[in-house]
Amino acid sequence: MSQKLILNIGWLYPNLMSTYGDRGNVICLQRRSQWRNILVNIIPLDQKVDASCFSKIDIVVGGGAQDRQQEIVMRDLKGAKAEMLKFKLDKGTPGVFTCASPQLLGHYYESASGQRINGLGLLDIVTKHSGSNISRCVGNMVFQITASPLAEEIKQMSGENPFVIGFENHGGRTYLGNVQSLGKIILGYGNNGEDGCEGVFYRHAIATYSHGPLLAKNSFITDWLIKTALKEKYQEDITLINIDDNLEKQARKTILKKLKLFSSI
């Protein structure tokens, strides 16, 4: 394609939903796009903008937050803004949503204090915090992406089985209705520590409990998001030039050895 490629990255409530370092996901998308000569605009999607801003977005990023901030976000993310975000994701705009963000894309999030925060109802999930006297789901996590067609597309792009390495820190336990999980847990709690599932995959939206930040440790997901966003925007399958990920691959090996998982995946 001869025209200059441009991607608008929409960042949900950066001042409220960046508690766990997920701004790193925005940086990874920005840099791996720029290294391919794709122009990137980062657009905060917060209280200061209206629904028209949401309509310009090519990739949506949502990070993690504490219960209080989630409640503040949902006071603003309603009406035309909420409808536009749901329209975009339903239409196939790609996104990566971590922890608190997916909780708010579901039917509701019941916080540690028992307050029910109604979500957008886009994902058929509910989340309930187990109460401040129950230990949080905290620690390193490793899972295999099993969602279709995401797993196949990533394997085709990267040539590798999509194993995700991350870190989780949540009190909420998420239960899935009629929606597919993102993957199956190998190490850690995942959605609820009971059913062995992690995250949710819906249209082109990746929802996960994996902080890390996720994209810094799993660049194949970054590239899938970029490629998918370009295809949705320009209606063309654009091949991304390869980037030397040797350092990241070595870091992944080191983490897997530390977690005594290197030989098993």
Angle at 66 between CA 44 and CA 222, to 5 degrees: 50
Q: Applying CB under 6 A, what is the total number of residues that bind ligand GLN?
A: 13
Q: Which of 129, 170, 204, 211 is catalytic?
A: 211
249: which residues sit within 8 A by CB, 6+ positions away? none
Report residue 68 as tokens: 């209080």
Among 106, 172, 183, 190, binds ligand GLN (CB under 6 A): 172
Window 82-141: residues binding ligand GLN (CB under 6 A): 99-100, 129
CA-to-CA distance for 242 and 245, rounded, in angstroms? 9
Compose the 18-57 pattern: x for residues touching ligand GLN by CB under 6 A, - for all others.
--x-------------------------------------
CA-to-CA distance for 167 and 153, rounded, in angstroms? 24
C-beta of 7 vs 123, nearer to ligand GLN = 123
Question: What phi and psi values does residue 177 have, to the nearest 5 degrees?
Answer: -100, -125
C-beta of 136 vs 227, nearer to ligand GLN = 136
Considering the complex, what minimum distance in angstroms separates the CB of residue 52 from ligand GLN? Answer: 28
CA-to-CA distance for 248 and 253, rounded, in angstroms? 9
Considering the complex, what minimum distance in angstroms separates the CB of residue 63 from ligand GLN? Answer: 7
Helices (H), 114-245: 150-158, 214-217, 219-234
C-beta of 33 vs 101, nearer to ligand GLN = 101
C-beta of 172 vs 183, nearer to ligand GLN = 172
211 is catalytic: yes
Report residue 91 as tokens: 């239409």
Q: How much is the CA Rg of the chain, to the nearest whole Å?
A: 17
Among 47, 169, 180, 219, binds ligand GLN (CB under 6 A): 169
53 is catalytic: no
Query: What is the CB neighbour count within 10 angstroms for residue 213?
Result: 24
Binding part of the chain for ligand GLN, among 168-176, 220-228, 242-250, 253-261 by CB under 6 A, reads 168-176
Q: State the pairing for strand pair 205-208/200-202.
A: antiparallel
Could you say whether residue 64 binds ligand GLN (CB under 6 A)?
yes
How many CA atoms lie within 13 Å of 75's alpha carbon, on the beta-carbon side?
8
Q: Which of 99, 129, 170, 197 is catalytic?
A: 99
Q: Which residue is nearest to ligand GLN (CB)?
A: 64
Flag whether 136 is marked binding: yes
Note whether 10 and 247 are within 8 A (CB): no
Catalytic residues: 99, 211
Binding annotation for substrate: 136
Q: Which residues bind ligand GLN (CB under 6 A)?
A: 20, 64-67, 70, 99-100, 129, 169-172
